[in-house]
Structure 1
Amino acid sequence: MESLTPPALGARVWLICGVLLLATMLNYMDRQALAVTLPTLKNEFALTESRVGMIEGCFGYAFAFGSIFFGLLADRWGPRWLYPIVLIGWSIAGIATAGAGQPWITDWFETPGDSPGTGTYRWLLLCRVVLGVFEAGHWPCALLTVRAVLPPQGLALGNGILQSGASIGAVAVPLYIEAAERSGFSWEFPFWSIGLVGLAWVPLWGFAIRDQQLRLPHGYSSDPIPTPGDRGILLRRLAVLVVVIASLTISWQFLRAWLGLFLQDYHGYGKFATRGIMSAYFIVADVGCILSGLLVARLALRGWRVSSARRLGYLLFSLLALGASLVPFAGDGALMVALLLIAGAGILGLHPYYYAFTQELSARRMGILSGGLAAWGWVASSLWQIRIGSLIEQTRSYGLGLVIVGLVPMVGCLVLLLFWPRSEPKPITPGSPS
């Protein structure tokens, strides 16, 4: 197992953060390619809202399993060799998704009497399950790496850089697919081409950590034997984060998966306008993500306690997320789009704080604890996705979903403010217990 601790900050540290950002970008490009192409696939292969909800729900269940599985492996092996494995796995799953348009593949998944598009639906379901399992491994590997190379006051910014890759990837996908279609490529092209780029990430990771940045003396990362009081604080923090991660995953994954259909199918936006708004949404979300990390760093420089700065930031960005609850009452014009953008900045801006709180739990068990929390978040989101898909198909309305999306981050915020133990994270120095 690799032991982890932050070395002195330098160019190599920020290079590693940049490589992590790229991995997150690829993670989201593989994931978001389906959301952008859904309007096309829905018409071409009879993907109903219920089927879309089931695909997203099963993706989430697979992500939950992968979070625990790879969290355990990350604690045992560390990210050095595990990270390339999970990235290769999800890249291959992304490449395979392009086979949904090939009858010689989808015919194997149909039986006589099936409704139209059943083979394509089942193949997409299989590919998304595999994608979810391997994509889940990104987060314990990435969080362990960030925790290894940055001190407490830099965690929110480092996590913001890491998480911002999600928005960059989500911004790039609509533009990339639009450019591909204008160049004469079919909808399959983004899936296999993004997957190939993912495979090229592996040697870059090897270059970034070639001097064994993540390998330090054995025994460093072992936590001290906990006292009953320590265990009580750990359980209290876990209970708070159970609520927080469920609220974040429900909100973010709903808008990530359904935004394209909401704009194009429900409000009648054209394909080009839909993709433009989706790109703008993730650009603004990325700005919110970076600003949330900078806020903590700036307040810490002014003498604020890191824990107090994080609480203030969480409250401010939860208020921004409330914008989603106003979307159903804002018509279908510029105000509606503005509220969506504000909500995106708020929801994604909360993620760096959540990761920083998670990184305070335990150095030795960070992989399984972060993985277990992520698993619960994805289970909650999957139950929600399946239910909301059926509800949208029945009512032809996204109103209730959007109201809930805006409110649940504030629920998580209130639980955090009321019940998170008020202790300051301690800087980690080589040779000291975490």
Structure 2
Amino acid sequence: MRWRIAALLFLATTLNHLDRQVLGILAPSLQRDYHISESEYGLIVTAFQGAFAIGLVSMGWLIDRFGLRLMYSVTVVIWSLACMAHGLGRSFAGFAAARVGLGYGEAGNFPAFVKVVGQWFPLKERALVAGIVNSGANVGAILAPLLVPYLALHYGWKSAFAATGSLGFLWVGLWLLLYRKPQEHPRLSPEERAWIEQDGILPENTRTSYRALLGLRTTWGIALARFFTDPVWWIFLYWLPKFLQKEHGLALGKVGLPLMVIYLVADAGSIAGGWLSSFLLKKGYSLNFARKTTMLIAAIGVMPVFFASRTGDLWSAVALVSLAVAAHQAWAANIFTLHSDLFPPAQVASATGLTGMIGSIGGMLVAPLVGWILDTTGSYLLIFSGASLAYLFGWALLQLCVPRMKAATQG
């Protein structure tokens, strides 16, 4: 049963990134047709990230307060409606408004799935499951360049937003049918319940404030690491299709294959990062060693992306970006898992939302900077240079703030 729950989380994360990616693929055409500059596009991305940051904090609290079954459904409905609303856009302001709704709704996915993983899986399985669930982001990013150009070219660009947004309502039906807490699930066997609860159960009735969370070094260690690394994922998500089209002359109908390769490799990275961390735990290594070693390997793996803007060969650039995105996903699988590792169950969604908000603030600051760099220099060199070092810096800050990790379930 726990793997069926994980499959639902994977599907939600896939839809989350499928809906998010549509605008990035259509951006060159929409910018041309509606006279949207690179700087304005950067502000559209910033509008999404601002709403995403607010959504992370508010949705995290609402999930802890009112429960996963209700609030996960609400967040998917909000983002699905907002995705469909993009079809009404006719200007910079119109698309920015739709992105606000999408960002607010999509933010709830991450506090929700991290909390569910903490509920339904023992410590030694969590990173692997988080890696599998997080790989849904790459599946969504793969599906988008396959579906969106076809829909846009055959049925008009509005159909791409309408079709992808409508899928969320099907997911909500499955979620309401299948999800319950492990302690309340009528179809969970005693043997599987014992496996899930092998680390012990902390009480769910404790509550904390964001002020209290901000007073913890653990919160700041994760938050600062996310502040410097989350923006890199936003850059890949929003500017990668544009990078391939501008730097390598790919038309809208030709961008699908390189993006599919990049995100397939990213899928492997997400699962491998979760697997390695879980493998080290099963071999008897400490939580501190398992999580941080995996994250350090991932941070080093991002560094070669520096050369992606220096090569004129399409597939060399694709290889370098593929490695970086795979390393990011290995990193993300572990940093998401840290929330359920280090915080009590009743605080997991709130802590995830809070650190995610700080990561999104980093994205808000970087997005207009990327647009300004491209408007000013026309080059991706500075952008990839910063991305190549961000993870090592984030890892160092995590180590500084949280030199020794200890799981909440260990007392």
Could you tell me the TM-score, scaled by structure 1's length?
0.85
Q: Is the partner of 1:364 in helix, strand or coil?
A: helix
User: Share of identical aligned residues, percent?
Assistant: 27
Q: CA RMSD in A?
A: 2.2
Q: 1: distance between equivalents of 2:250 and 2:379?
A: 16
In structure 2, list runs of 5 or more residues that go unmatched: 186-200
**1:98–1:189 Cα contact (<8 Å) kept:** yes
Report the AA paired with residue 148 of structure 2: I
Q: 2: distance between equivalents of 1:356 and 1:234?
A: 20
Q: 1: distance between equivalents of 2:116 and 2:71?
A: 12
Q: 2: distance between equivalents of 1:138 and 1:310?
A: 22
Q: 1: distance between equivalents of 2:14 and 2:224?
A: 26
Match for residue 375 of structure 2 among 372, 393, 418? 393
Q: Return closer, same or farther for 1:219/1:418 CA change in 2, 3 Å cut-off.
A: closer
Q: CA deviation at 1:179?
A: 3.3
Q: Is the partner of 2:135 in helix, strand or coil?
A: helix
Match for residue 305 of structure 1 among 276, 279, 286? 286
Q: CA deviation at 1:424?
A: 3.5
**1:250–1:381 Cα contact (<8 Å) kept:** yes
Q: 1: distance between equivalents of 2:401 and 2:353?
A: 22
Q: Return closer, same or farther for 1:233/1:312 CA change in 2, 3 Å cut-off.
A: farther
Note if 1:47 corresponds to 2:16. Answer: no
Q: CA deviation at 1:221?
A: 1.6
Q: 2: distance between equivalents of 1:311 and 1:318?
A: 10
Q: 2: distance between equivalents of 1:138 and 1:288?
A: 21
The 10-residue stretch of structure 1 (339-348 or 236-245) with the greater mean CA deviation from structure 2: 236-245
Which residue matches 2:274? 293
**1:80–1:214 Cα contact (<8 Å) kept:** no
Q: Return closer, same or farther for 1:233/1:298 CA change in 2, 3 Å cut-off.
A: farther
Which residue matches 1:26? 15
- The structure with the largest alpha-carbon Rg is 1
Q: CA deviation at 1:373?
A: 1.0
Which residue matches 2:182? 213
**2:248–2:314 Cα contact (<8 Å) kept:** no
Q: 2: distance between equivalents of 1:247 and 1:85?
A: 30
Q: 2: distance between equivalents of 1:368 and 1:175?
A: 35
Q: 1: distance between equivalents of 2:288 and 2:214?
A: 15
Report the AA paired with residue 112 of structure 2: C
Which residue matches 2:161? 191
Q: 2: distance between equivalents of 1:224 and 1:83?
A: 20
| Counterparts of residues 255-274 of structure 1 (less than 5 Å) | 255-274=236-255
Report the AA paired with residue 118 of structure 2: R
Which residue matches 1:109? none
Q: 2: distance between equivalents of 1:426 and 1:388?
A: 39
Q: 2: distance between equivalents of 1:296 and 1:71?
A: 25
Q: 1: distance between equivalents of 2:152 and 2:85?
A: 20
**1:39–1:265 Cα contact (<8 Å) kept:** no
Which residue matches 2:150? 179
Q: Return closer, same or farther for 1:232/1:34 CA change in 2, 3 Å cut-off.
A: closer
Q: Return closer, same or farther for 1:233/1:27 CA change in 2, 3 Å cut-off.
A: closer
Match for residue 64 of structure 1 among 44, 53, 57? 53
Q: Is the partner of 2:346 in helix, strand or coil?
A: coil
| Counterparts of residues 106-121 of structure 1 (less than 5 Å) | 106=90, 120-121=91-92
Q: 2: distance between equivalents of 1:214 and 1:351?
A: 28
Which residue matches 2:198? none
Q: Return closer, same or farther for 1:58/1:233 CA change in 2, 3 Å cut-off.
A: closer
Q: 2: distance between equivalents of 1:393 and 1:219?
A: 52
Report the AA paired with residue 119 of structure 2: A
Which residue matches 2:348? 366
Report the AA paired with residue 218 of structure 2: R
Which residue matches 1:228? none
Which residue matches 1:3? none
Q: CA deviation at 1:426?
A: 5.4
| Counterparts of residues 150-189 of structure 1 (less than 5 Å) | 150-181=121-152, 184-189=154-159
Q: Is the partner of 1:83 in helix, strand or coil?
A: helix
Q: Return closer, same or farther for 1:29/1:16 CA change in 2, 3 Å cut-off.
A: same
Match for residue 391 of structure 2 among 397, 409, 414? 409
Which residue matches 2:234? 253
Q: Return closer, same or farther for 1:212/1:344 CA change in 2, 3 Å cut-off.
A: closer
Which residue matches 1:204? 174
| Counterparts of residues 224-235 of structure 1 (less than 5 Å) | 235=216
Which residue matches 1:336? 317
